Copies of this chain bind each other. A is one copy, B any other.
Amino acid sequence: MIQKLAIIGVGLIGGSMAQALREEGVVQEIVGCGRGKPNLQKAVELGVIDHFTHDVSAAVQGADFVVLAVPLSAMRKTFEAMLDHLAEDVVVTDVGSVKGCVIRDAEQVFGKVPDFFVPGHPIAGTERSGVDAAFPELFHNRRVILTPIENTAQPALERVEQVWQQCGAETTRMEITHHDEVLAATSHLPHMLAYALVDSLARMKENDEIFRYAAGGFRDFTRIASSNPTMWRDICLANKEALGVMLKRFADELHDLAKILETEDSDGLLEIFNRAKEARDSYIDGIK
């Protein structure tokens, strides 16, 4: 049982986590913390949190479980605000989409990464944001990657795993750099491509007409371009090394494709399309 759960950042992820744990009956009190008053008031109205504060140090006071669900760019000052205010037996975790930068922030603020801090990343979300978008089933059968370091306390790690399992998720452990590379490939690059495509079409002078003739496939393909731009700006910058590598690899692939097209290499093109369809179909079969 969590006595006092502090959710710092009550948006889609933080809000859904609060709802899931409440529904599971494993939490006594939930305090929400954030900057926007309307969103926090809404969270209280919706029963997502019991009460709220704008002050991180007040929120974490006496909390035995703290979740940092703030944008990556706010992680460092959130650590600073909680320094010296955390309870003795606290466990802190975060939900940031990039792990290297969060570890660095924690290290710089605390001197070394605290043993009670377990870096985490739920592979879940939608293109919507804010507490309005939250729902308790968000993490059902989703994976949560934890990236503990040498210094991480085993009981803290197990506690965070337990809490995520109570949210309906499956936990897994991964090395930090590896996490950031895998996510660059499967999440950060696709977002970059979707934003870039829609932007390049939007900048064409007949863009009204262009969008008018976009078919159903386009709608799905570009769904992630409706995600929160500030959040994704932060994520992409925070993972710029791994993402930069993927971006260049992909640009190379596009050049190969352009060449294949130009030379009408029919078999080469079919080989790529076939390999992609096969990989995508078996991935979908795997998550069914």
Known: A221-B220, A280-B225. A214 touches B186 (CB 8 A): yes
Q: Is A74 in contact with chain B by the CB < 8 A criterion?
A: no
The number of residues on chain A lying at the interface, defined by a beta carbon within 8 Å of a beta carbon of chain B, is: 91
Rounded to whole Å, the gap between the CB of A57 and the closest CB of chain B is: 28
A262 to B239 alpha-carbon distance, docked (Å): 11
Q: Contact between A210 and B194 (Cβ–Cβ < 8 Å)?
A: no
Q: Contact between A276 and B213 (Cβ–Cβ < 8 Å)?
A: no
Scoring A residues 183 to 213 as 1 if CB is less than 8 Å from chain B, else 0, what string do you get? 1011101111111111111111011011111
Q: Is A83 in contact with chain B by the CB < 8 A criterion?
A: no
**Chain B residues within 8 Å of A95, by CB:** none
Known: A247-B258, A276-B225. A253 touches B200 (CB 8 A): yes
Rounded to whole Å, the gap between the CB of A48 and the closest CB of chain B is: 21
Chain A residues in the interface with B (C-beta under 8 A): 123-127, 142-143, 145, 182-183, 185-187, 189-204, 206-207, 209-230, 232-233, 236-237, 240, 243-244, 247-251, 253-255, 257-258, 261-262, 264, 266, 269-270, 272-284, 286-287
